[in-house]
Structure 1
Amino acid sequence: MSDNSSDECDTQHVLYKNRPEWSDITPLKQNDGEHPVAAIDYTEEFEDCFDYFRAVVQKKEYSERTLELTKTAASLNPANYTVWQFRREILKALNKDLNEELEYIGKVILKQTKNYQVWHHRRIIVEWLQDPSKEKYLTEKSLSEDAKNYHAWQHRQWVIKTYNLYDGELEYVDQLLQDDVKNNSAWNQRYFVVNNTTGFTQETLNREIDYTLGKIRILMENESAWNYLRGLLLHDKGGLSRNEKVTDFCETFYEQGNRSPFLLALIVDICSEKITNNGGGDGNNVYTSARAKELCNALATQYDTIRAKYWLHISETIENQANEQNSMDESSTTN
């Protein structure tokens, strides 16, 4: 429930039971049964409002007064789905100006930014209007308060994809990453934009890999950027191990003494991929099972001890992988 001091709820609020214009409605009490397990101590204002709300929902009364009632109910409990659904029914029945509703729900959202129902209401009104022109601005205002707000990002992705509003989005994401390079939501948005526009062509991959390596240089201990890099490499026909730009980047920092667990983890995965591909046909291959085991042990004992059991498991898995590959090679030679 929201704070009763909300601007949407008049501080001089008059109870509905004391309003002459509501005297024709018999309030409908909430039925909690004879012996409720955990009775909620509602305020008088809350109980009064929802007693009348239940009554008009039952009567299906679509009027100006019930529209006003839903605004009060929403201010008291903005997460109540029935309140918003009934409000939408009234808006349609009265043929109300939906632009006014858009302005109203925008104000509510900026006070209730992590409430699914208010964003859902906004989305439906936008769909009815077929006017997405204010949505990116609204989400930007919301994200300026919390750059990782899931509901704001969900709404933004919906409106961008539905109405093809991708222009300028990579620039917006870049600004967010300049503000906070660890913003996982911004990295996710970058992937979303690329995936739905150019796709992961080789040209795009080269650009995005350069971009990501630049961000990793700023902060090596940034799991979000490393994860984005992995996602890019999954689209690279060379895989993890054949992109020389990435392997050179990793080896340079490793030789300089960097032991970021994310760096070591990627090298371990490169080793695993090389083993699967029979060494990649490279006689100078440095991505061996022995190196992978060494790195797994370092991760387990020094650099990522919270996941020690995981790294010991990966070490064993890679060793088995190497043994299977050797057996296949020996069998092939014998035949």
Structure 2
Amino acid sequence: MSESTESSSDEGDSQRVLYKNRPEWQDITPLKQDDGDYPVVAIDYTLEFQDCFDYFRAIVHKKEYSERALELTQTAASYNAANFTVWQYRREILKALDKDLHEELKYIEKVILKQTKNYQVWHHRKVLVEWLKDPSKEKYFTEKALSKDAKNYHAWQHRQWVIKTFDLFDGELDYVEQLLKDDVKNNSAWNQRYFVVNNTTGFTEDVLSREIQFTLEKILELQDNESAWNYLRGLLLHDKTGLSRNKTVTEFCESLYKDGSRSPFLLALIVDMCSERAAEDGAGDGNNLYTVARAMELCNSLATNYDTIRAKYWEYTAETIEKQSKGEVVDEASSSTN
């Protein structure tokens, strides 16, 4: 059983009566944690923490499902909300006592909003929603959590699960757009946009055109926005013509480049366009913009000026593109991209 001495309790330890001093618990013999005779690193638990978990272990061993056991799990969770056993046993008690799960949702909401990055509390809520088959509060609840941290992985994971499981996609693109208005660099919001489109309309030709236009407009707001460039790359994977033959995108990129933009994300995309053409046409016949020579030039610029932290990667990329254009086999295992 994994235990931490960190407490997130609403009530201070000094206000708690130890379980060993409570008359209603006198029939229970506390069960000490067995760390062996010679623990390598003995954890210095507080007296209150140790008392709580000694009694918790005892009721788990006894398989007691009662109101006092339910209260004990709440205390234990306040000391260590990341303890899987505490939440699992609490769920067993809830079922055994046929408790009002809507009340439990209210309780876990308060816990989550204080510990939004704790996997176990989110999992507990997920199980409750599954039992109730009622997702009506979940989108609003995750929005509350995301208002505290718009990139919280657990909140997004829960939201995606709810939306997909109960088909609650309506209005989700509007919500994502608002998040991107608030922070155009919010990678989680970009990811959610892809999730929604992919699970609803799919990337049809019309949808692809719409999404590309939306993304290009966002890139114009902030050219050094890796999230938007990555989303654009994801869109182009659905374009049957490839990276370098979508006229809207190529004209956009060339216009930015001509106007002096040297965003490393712009240059990286052009390099990949050149790489795509090199793989198809070899060195190229000089009748297109996306040649091996241009890739070499841009890789050098990235390595020496615009993305120096990844200089070795761009040197390797240049070498790889050149070899591919000559039909040579590239030994990736022997090359370093760090």
Output the TM-score relative to the length of structure 1.
0.94
1:214 alignment counterpart:
217
- Consecutive aligned runs of 4 or more in structure 1 exceeding 3 Å deviation: 1-5, 8-11, 279-283
Q: In the aligned structure 2, how far is the partner of 1:124 from the partner of 1:39?
A: 34
Q: In the aligned structure 1, how far is the partner of 2:12 from the partner of 2:175?
A: 35
1:74 to 74, 77, 86: 77
Offset of 1:316 from its aligned partner? 1.0
Amino acid at match of 1:241: S
1:131 alignment counterpart:
134
Deviates more, 1:145-154 or 1:313-322: 313-322
2:103 corresponds to 1:105: no
Q: In the aligned structure 1, how far is the partner of 2:217 from the partner of 2:162?
A: 30
Query: Any residues of structure 2 matched to 1:27-46 within 5 Å, and which?
Result: 27-46=30-49
Amino acid at match of 2:216: L
1:58 to 58, 61, 66: 61
Output the TM-score relative to the length of structure 2.
0.93
Q: In the aligned structure 1, how far is the partner of 2:231 from the partner of 2:166?
A: 26
Alpha-carbon distance change, 102 to 210 in structure 1, aligned in 2, over 3 angstroms? same
Offset of 1:320 from its aligned partner? 1.4
Q: In the aligned structure 1, how far is the partner of 2:308 from the partner of 2:15?
A: 59
Aligned with 2:326: secondary structure?
A: helix
Q: In the aligned structure 2, how far is the partner of 1:8 from the partner of 1:143?
A: 26
* 1:189-213 Cα distance to aligned partner (Å, 9 max, x none): 1110010000010111000000000
* 1:203-245 Cα distance to aligned partner (Å, 9 max, x none): 1100000000000000010111000000000001111011000
Offset of 1:73 from its aligned partner? 0.4
1:234 to 237, 246, 268: 237
Amino acid at match of 1:296: C
2:165 corresponds to 1:157: no
Amino acid at match of 1:270: M
Unpaired runs of 5+ residues, structure 2, are 329-338
1:17 alignment counterpart:
20
Q: In the aligned structure 1, how far is the partner of 2:128 from the partner of 2:14?
A: 28
Q: In the aligned structure 2, how far is the partner of 1:90 from the partner of 1:306?
A: 54
2:177 to 174, 179, 182: 174
Alpha-carbon distance change, 149 to 83 in structure 1, aligned in 2, over 3 angstroms? same
2:247 alignment counterpart:
244
2:189 corresponds to 1:186: yes
1:332 alignment counterpart:
none
Kept in 1, the 8 Å contact 2:5–2:45? The answer is: no
Kept in 1, the 8 Å contact 2:52–2:75? The answer is: yes
Q: In the aligned structure 2, how far is the partner of 1:194 from the partner of 1:301?
A: 38
2:50 alignment counterpart:
47
Q: In the aligned structure 2, how far is the partner of 1:191 from the partner of 1:170?
A: 10
1:305 alignment counterpart:
308
Q: In the aligned structure 1, how far is the partner of 2:211 from the partner of 2:14?
A: 53
Q: In the aligned structure 2, how far is the partner of 1:279 from the partner of 1:256?
A: 29
Q: In the aligned structure 1, how far is the partner of 2:14 from the partner of 2:184?
A: 43
Q: CA RMSD in A?
A: 1.7
Kept in 1, the 8 Å contact 2:282–2:324? The answer is: no
Kept in 2, the 8 Å contact 1:8–1:75? The answer is: no
Indicate the percent of aligned positions where both proteins have the same amino acid. 75
2:297 alignment counterpart:
294
Kept in 2, the 8 Å contact 1:2–1:75? The answer is: no
Amino acid at match of 1:43: T
1:271 alignment counterpart:
274
1:319 alignment counterpart:
322
Q: In the aligned structure 2, how far is the partner of 1:241 from the partner of 1:279?
A: 15
Alpha-carbon distance change, 2 to 113 in structure 1, aligned in 2, over 3 angstroms? farther
Aligned with 1:205: secondary structure?
A: helix
Q: In the aligned structure 2, how far is the partner of 1:204 from the partner of 1:133?
A: 29
Kept in 2, the 8 Å contact 1:80–1:117? The answer is: yes
Kept in 2, the 8 Å contact 1:279–1:285? The answer is: no
* 1:155-195 Cα distance to aligned partner (Å, 9 max, x none): 00000000000011111111111111111111111110010
